[in-house]
Structure 1
Amino acid sequence: MVAKREYGAEQPFSAGPLMLRLPFVHYRLEYQDFIQGMILCCVPLGITAAMTKVLGIPIEIAVLMVVINNFLYLLHTTFGDPSVCGWITAGIPLYISYLVGYAEGPERIKALIALQILVGFIFVFLGLSGIVKKVITHFPISMRAGIILGAGLSALNRIFDPKQPYVSKMPISFGIAAFLSFIILFSRRGMEYREKHGWLKWVASYGIAPGFVAGYVAGLITGEIAPPTGVFDQLLISMPAGEMLQNFSIVGLGFPSAAMWISAISLGIVAYVLAFGDIIVLESLIAEADAARKDEKIPYRSVRNHVITGIRNIGEGAFTPFLPLCGPQWTAGQAVVLNRYKFSTPEEEPSYWGGATSFFWGMSIAMLFHPIVQIIMPAISIGFGLTLLIQGYLCSYIALAMCKTNLQRGIAGIMAASLITSNYIELWNSPFWSGPTVALILGTILFFSLEYYPEKNNKEQEG
């Protein structure tokens, strides 16, 4: 019997401050989100190409690292953090540029170990010290909007970049997948049709999965996607854990040198700055869900999110160093889960935690099976592209809605423009002085010189 809650309260949990929630005890598994997760396993698998090329990791070990990373996502929803988490995606080009400065092999792996563990300690320190809570509370709206808008435009820039495969190499299949996904997720007319037609509501409950399948089929027909091969070669994926620990972790390689730790500091700070944008987006999305569903209160605590994210980075950095690092939120995945939750009745989806956790159970379990991985792999660009497109859409409207004045919109626009240059500009040959850092500095200068007016604020409060 799944635990019940009072109207408007938090979903029950156990283990006191740990807020432990277990399937079938504190929430039910939601098969729609489970299936969505299975199909979207193509997204995390997309990083394996970069891991094999940049780090020299064999594909079997790269897939195993992705699977381990995915199961660790469950730490968040299992211990009371509502985040549908992911990578610190925007920094991937920066991490690659940093790592290729080291010799390929053990030295490069050690550099990644140092970077990821350092990022983990930054998260833990800022979370436990309470600094991040104060920063989020007092962070100016214009600068929040600038970070969120920058994240959205950065994602959209990749979609329409002719060097990327989404629009340039698969215009028909990706276009069909994107159109159907947007109709299901965001169309006002689509919402009306759902209420009139039960079959359409059932299809829409699977989120972007129907759009992905339609795009995949279109890609096979048009030749934009190659048919899967080796589907039935084996049942489960290979799990060379011993080789992974011996050749790609501190167990076999030892700790990085002091110079590696020191050189990773600036990029570690940049990685956190990028992740901070995801934290702000997460807070906004959870607030939207709370406003839409009055029957359940979804608690978001930045300290809990930071500590769990830090633990993931430290653990993975030591034993399964992961190129894209561990981030506090995956915007598109969060949107997919929240969208179904917001537009479901309490009877259709009793608790947010069921959908959020089922999503990752489905994704993680699917990647254990070789046939599923082989079937999904040819369409990884469609899955990854859909998540970027959804992120761009969500971040854009959230950022614009946050701004109340033209001054705020102007500051946000300049910050966004400087933030998306992170892939192109690096001042003084240092990754620290890339787009994210410049965006924060520019935003701070513009806020205090143009918008900040303490005397007026005090008079308004007195009045």
Structure 2
Amino acid sequence: MSIMLPSAKRKKDGDAQPGIKMGIFTLRLPFIHAPFEVPEAIQALVVCVVGVSAVSYLQDMFGIPFAVALSIVCVHEFLELTYVMFGEATIGGWITPAIPLITTWLLTFQSNSDRMQALISLQLLLGLFFIFFGMTGLAKKLVVWVPTSIKSGILIGAGISAITGKYGFMSLSEGGAGIFKYPISWITGIVVAIFLLYSIGFSQIKLASNNGLIKLLAKAGFVPALFIAYIIGISFGELPLPHFDLTQGIIFNPLPGLKEVFHSYSFFAFGIPNINIIVSALPIAFITYIISFGNIVVATELTIEASQSRPDEYIDINPNRANLLVGVRNIIQGLFAPTVVMSGPLWAAMQVTATQRYKQGKKSMYSLYGGAISFDLIKFLAVLVLPLVALITPILPLGMSLTLMIQAFACFIIAFGMLETSVQKGVAGATGAIMSITSPHLGLLAGIIISLIVEYKFKSSHKKENHKDSH
């Protein structure tokens, strides 16, 4: 169902959605330039719990008060909305595969001051990487240049770090906040999530069934698992009941919290970070960029596939613009409202859901821009509704842990799927293992050295054999 003003209608089939041209950018405002798509709005209300769970990272790692952390999340959610409004027909998200490596690295800094400076350095450097590599056209070359085994090793390292880290199987005595803190609800959430997302049996059921509930579960990602874990957690006393304080009002005002962020947690509060911290952040930013650039490639392919099914709407696809917008989002957050989850180019599960509905025709979704803008607009507004936030607050720490565990599983699937030879598997395994037990930059360095020793000679030999065979 699409709701829009006449100004949001395309003049004829094959036209781009109306908007205000600004160089490579096109500004599209909800309703005025982009229709409001009701199904995407409803879905955003359901999955907003995922975005709000970033509050727990900020509270747990930096001791930031809840209202202040929620203000940072508001900035993050608003910037995701601008990503679509300025020309990308893509639902942005976290750089989730990098979060385990980022959290492991941040926890190596003992003081909150150093830890916050490290986060600021990382997000600013990441933003600069996006802008530089995107605008120079070096992004694709860089990703091709990095051996597949190293890219796979980074994902393996991220997965191992998540499982063995603070929010996975780390013991309570060492500060663990995963399975040993929420044993029943944690296990329940993981089992249900993995079943819904990765089970071969459930995939067969989805393909064969026309049941509305099955289809809803297939589209909702791991959110149903999160709510089941929530109910189990409350039932067994692992999670508290939600607390509603109506004296605080209905709508959250982020301005006081952002003022506190500016004075206590921003770049302007600390100034230029220590040079040692900046040097330490460089390889983490590089690793995070390598991971996230793959999401731009995926987003591009999903959009191309969707547009081929809908010749009635022209969708402007520009990876350089995507790099620039993601870079600007990270720099803004690094300066004013840093966040552990980073600002990424794609929330894959939600984008796949939106494009699948878009491909069904105009009656299902008039414009892909409208679908993405509607989703991000309601997701942002949901963060401002205090009763809704209060309802989901008890699940946030557990939600953060479950998110990382599910991401770890996804990292392993993607990483091992990239590998073809036994040599690649060896390099990737060694890289990931070293990365997870030491630090990401040492793991990356070790992986590069191992790759140069074993893969370069293997490839050179392979080329010579092929050359001989051709004669």
- Output the TM-score relative to the length of structure 2: 0.77
How many Å apart are 1:264 and its aligned residue? 0.9
1:419 alignment partner in structure 2: 432
The one of 253, 259, 276 equivalent to 2:290 is 276
- Separation in structure 1 between the aligned mates of residue 14 and residue 416 of structure 2, nearest angstrom: 29
How many Å apart are 1:89 and its aligned residue? 1.3
- After superposition, what is the alpha-carbon deviation per residue over 1:142-162, rounded to whole angstroms, capped at 9, x for unaligned? 444444455455556667625
Alignment map for 1:294-373 (pairs within 5 Å) = 294-296=308-310, 301-322=318-339, 324=340, 326-329=342-345, 333-339=347-353, 341-342=355-356, 345-346=360-361, 347-373=363-389
- Separation in structure 1 between the aligned mates of residue 75 and residue 246 of structure 2, nearest angstrom: 23
| One-letter amino acid of the counterpart of residue 369, structure 1 | V
- After superposition, what is the alpha-carbon deviation per residue over 1:233-278, rounded to whole angstroms, capped at 9, x for unaligned? 4212353133332333355x36226xx1454123233222133123
The one of 258, 281, 284 equivalent to 1:267 is 281
Is structure 2 residue 393 aligned with structure 1 residue 384?
no
Contact kept, 8 Å, 1:48 with 1:59, in 2: the verdict is yes
The 3 A distance-change label for structure 1 pair 224 and 54 is closer
- Separation in structure 1 between the aligned mates of residue 345 and residue 116 of structure 2, nearest angstrom: 25
Is structure 2 residue 187 aligned with structure 1 residue 189?
no
Which sections of structure 2, spanning at least 5 residues, go unmatched?
1-5, 171-175
- Separation in structure 2 between the aligned mates of residue 192 and residue 10 of structure 1, nearest angstrom: 34
1:170 alignment partner in structure 2: 185
| One-letter amino acid of the counterpart of residue 306, structure 1 | N
Partner SS for 1:161:
coil
State the number of aligned residues: 444
- Separation in structure 2 between the aligned mates of residue 381 and residue 96 of structure 1, nearest angstrom: 18
How many Å apart are 1:396 and its aligned residue? 3.9
1:124 alignment partner in structure 2: 131
Contact kept, 8 Å, 1:229 with 1:374, in 2: the verdict is yes
Contact kept, 8 Å, 2:302 with 2:355, in 1: the verdict is no
How many Å apart are 1:209 and its aligned residue? 3.5
Is structure 2 residue 74 aligned with structure 1 residue 67?
yes
| One-letter amino acid of the counterpart of residue 242, structure 1 | K
- After superposition, what is the alpha-carbon deviation per residue over 1:211-232, rounded to whole angstroms, capped at 9, x for unaligned? 4333323333333332111353
- After superposition, what is the alpha-carbon deviation per residue over 1:311-358, rounded to whole angstroms, capped at 9, x for unaligned? 223222222233x1624346xx32233145336623434554444443
Contact kept, 8 Å, 1:46 with 1:384, in 2: the verdict is yes
| One-letter amino acid of the counterpart of residue 118, structure 1 | L
Is structure 2 residue 102 aligned with structure 1 residue 89?
no
How many Å apart are 1:86 and its aligned residue? 1.4
- After superposition, what is the alpha-carbon deviation per residue over 1:160-190, rounded to whole angstroms, capped at 9, x for unaligned? 6254525735246414641563389993323
The 3 A distance-change label for structure 1 pair 165 and 148 is closer
- Separation in structure 1 between the aligned mates of residue 193 and residue 162 of structure 2, nearest angstrom: 14
1:24 alignment partner in structure 2: 31
Contact kept, 8 Å, 2:20 with 2:28, in 1: the verdict is yes
How many Å apart are 1:68 and its aligned residue? 0.9
The one of 450, 456, 468 equivalent to 1:442 is 450
The 3 A distance-change label for structure 1 pair 151 and 171 is closer
Is structure 2 residue 271 aligned with structure 1 residue 255?
yes
The 3 A distance-change label for structure 1 pair 92 and 143 is closer
- Separation in structure 2 between the aligned mates of residue 183 and residue 109 of structure 1, nearest angstrom: 36
- After superposition, what is the alpha-carbon deviation per residue over 1:112-165, rounded to whole angstroms, capped at 9, x for unaligned? 444433333233222223222322345544444444455455556667625452
Contact kept, 8 Å, 2:121 with 2:281, in 1: the verdict is no
- After superposition, what is the alpha-carbon deviation per residue over 1:16-52, rounded to whole angstroms, capped at 9, x for unaligned? 5114344335543444443443343333433434434
Partner SS for 1:243:
helix
- Separation in structure 2 between the aligned mates of residue 188 and residue 110 of structure 1, nearest angstrom: 44
How many Å apart are 1:64 and its aligned residue? 0.7
- After superposition, what is the alpha-carbon deviation per residue over 1:348-401, rounded to whole angstroms, capped at 9, x for unaligned? 345544444433323321111221111111112453355435434544444444
The one of 246, 252, 266 equivalent to 1:232 is 246
Which sections of structure 1, spanning at least 5 residues, go unmatched?
none
- Separation in structure 2 between the aligned mates of residue 237 and residue 342 of structure 1, nearest angstrom: 34
Q: Using the TM superposition, name which of 363-372 and 133-142 deviates more.
A: 133-142
How many Å apart are 1:425 and its aligned residue? 0.8
Partner SS for 2:404:
helix
Alignment map for 1:241-252 (pairs within 5 Å) = 241-251=258-268
Partner SS for 1:41:
helix
| One-letter amino acid of the counterpart of residue 308, structure 1 | L
The 3 A distance-change label for structure 1 pair 225 and 384 is same
- Separation in structure 2 between the aligned mates of residue 184 and residue 14 of structure 1, nearest angstrom: 45
How many Å apart are 1:61 and its aligned residue? 1.2
The 3 A distance-change label for structure 1 pair 290 and 227 is same
Contact kept, 8 Å, 1:275 with 1:327, in 2: the verdict is no
| One-letter amino acid of the counterpart of residue 388, structure 1 | L
Q: CA RMSD in A?
A: 3.9
